Amino acid sequence: MSQGVRRAGAGQGAAAAVQLLVTLSFLRSVVEAQVTGVLDDCLCDIDSIDNFNTYKIFPKIKKLQERDYFRYYKVNLKRPCPFWAEDGHCSIKDCHVEPCPESKIPVGIKAGYSNKYLKMANSTKELEDCEQANKLGAINSTLSNQSKEAFIDWARYDDSRDHFCELDDERSPAAQYVDLLLNPERYTGYKGTSAWRVWNSIYEENCFKPRSVYRPLNPLAPSRGEDDGESFYTWLEGLCLEKRVFYKLISGLHASINLHLCANYLLEETWGKPSWGPNIKEFKRRFDPVETKGEGPRRLKNLYFLYLIELRALSKVAPYFERSIVDLYTGNAEEDADTKTLLLNIFQDTKSFPMHFDEKSMFAGDKKGAKSLKEEFRLHFKNISRIMDCVGCDKCRLWGKLQTQGLGTALKILFSEKEIQKLPENSPSKGFQLTRQEIVALLNAFGRLSTSIRDLQNFKVLLQHSR
């Protein structure tokens, strides 16, 4: 063999070895190298969020979710899908939601007063009920049934102008209390056409996206050759900040839900006893940069972006709960006081975070255009909350409704800064109000995001051990 041939062979061997090292290095970076650095559209780095969440937020929010005030959520899982004929509910047993027996609900919660956290409400409810009955009696004597229904619809519409979500009517006979601790979010086996149609409707019809721009990994999109979704991201970067934010919020919510399913996967079932735990294969299928053609790390970055948005909302709404009039009422005075102390402690932590998202950068153009865009933003998100009634799996519907309502409440808070600043100390505010349903959804939704980021850290460790 000539020296030139030997040199060429050695060069090819070295190149192959280098290529192998590069490939192995790339695989090691499934999470580490690609989900790091500063997030787009804000000045916050991922490592700072990880540390803040691990050491300050996660232990406290987990404890808060176990308190009676936050563990019972009233929801209507029987509302019909408003957009298409339903395929029928999932028959898989893990899709089932067990409603809470009336006897288990704390007396202060099952009283059914939607603003049951104000001390004034707790002490004057009977008087208000009598006054309300008299008012309704006066209305009943002068209005036809059709007019009364129109009046109620008008009042409900007037009250919902600042809502980003379609709220369940807690007075509906179909609305039931659910113990969130006994119905945890985890893998149920719900998939296929029904599940895909829900997410496709959310992305394709509500994310300000023209149909000519194809979402990456959309199974119904025509072949795009070597595009790999880059035209989508070129389009996305060309959007205004508000529309980019909207997409990232939805993508981040989707990523968070997928992480919950991967972290609480049905690993095996022996003699009717299921074993739940993290599924590395499922995690890689949904987030590995190779298997998702680079989409996975983008989705995980959007999870961090969503976390920042809800973190900012909690820091902004703190003054609302710091007032002496606010009492997280369940009927157990000692526990209620401890719950409020813990909640205020969490708020203090959220206010201490040094790199918050600046919501003032949104809707900052000319007043007329900004107002129109904000209303469009609100209505698009409200539509997504209605799509949650099309989810065929009850457990998926429960957690989908709660997390969209939580995010919707966060958006309502971020765009109500002036009203929150004007809150009276010792009386209810007409300018800004939260129902108990919104409060429970807000804190549990943020708790889910905090758990997602913690689960992501666990998957990093598991991936290192699996090599």
Q: Which residue from 434, 167, 19, 389 is spatially nearest to 11, judged by alpha carbons?
A: 19
For residue 169, CA distances in Å to 111, 115, 346 come to 15, 13, 29
Helix ranges restricted to H, 323-435: 333-352, 367-387, 394-414, 417-421
Burial class of 223 by CB neighbour count within 10 A (0 to 12, 13 to 18, 19+): exposed
Helix then strand count (H, E) for the chain reads 17, 4
Tell me the DSSP string of 111-178: T--TTTTBHHHHHHHHHHHHHHHHHHHHHHHHS-HHHHHHHHHHHHHHHTTT-SS----TTSTT-EEE
Does 251 carry a binding-site annotation?
yes
Burial class of 403 by CB neighbour count within 10 A (0 to 12, 13 to 18, 19+): buried
Q: Which amino acid is it at 367?
A: K
Which residues lie across from 75 on neighbouring strands? 176
Between CA 441 and CA 445 the distance in angstroms is 6
For residue 33, CA distances in Å to 46, 47, 85, 460 come to 11, 11, 44, 11
Does 154 carry a binding-site annotation?
no
Between CA 281 and CA 38 the distance in angstroms is 28
Does 350 carry a binding-site annotation?
no
Between CA 433 and CA 124 the distance in angstroms is 18
Position of tokens 């650095």? 37
Check: CB of residue 312 under 8 Å from CB of residue 356.
yes
Does 286 carry a binding-site annotation?
yes
Question: Which member of 42, 44, 262, 393 is catalytic?
Answer: 393
Q: Give 201's Cβ-side CA count (13 Å radius).
A: 20
Between CA 433 and CA 411 the distance in angstroms is 14
Q: Which amino acid is it at 224?
A: R
Does 199 carry a binding-site annotation?
yes
Between CA 309 and CA 301 the distance in angstroms is 13
State yes or no: is 130 an active-site residue: no
Between CA 349 and CA 169 the distance in angstroms is 33
Between CA 75 and CA 177 the distance in angstroms is 6
State yes or no: is 396 an active-site residue: yes
Check: CB of residue 276 under 8 Å from CB of residue 186.
yes
Binding residue numbers: 186, 188, 199, 251, 254, 286
Please give the annotated binding residues for FAD, written as ranges.
Answer: 186, 188, 199, 251, 254, 286
**Which residues are designated catalytic?**
393, 396
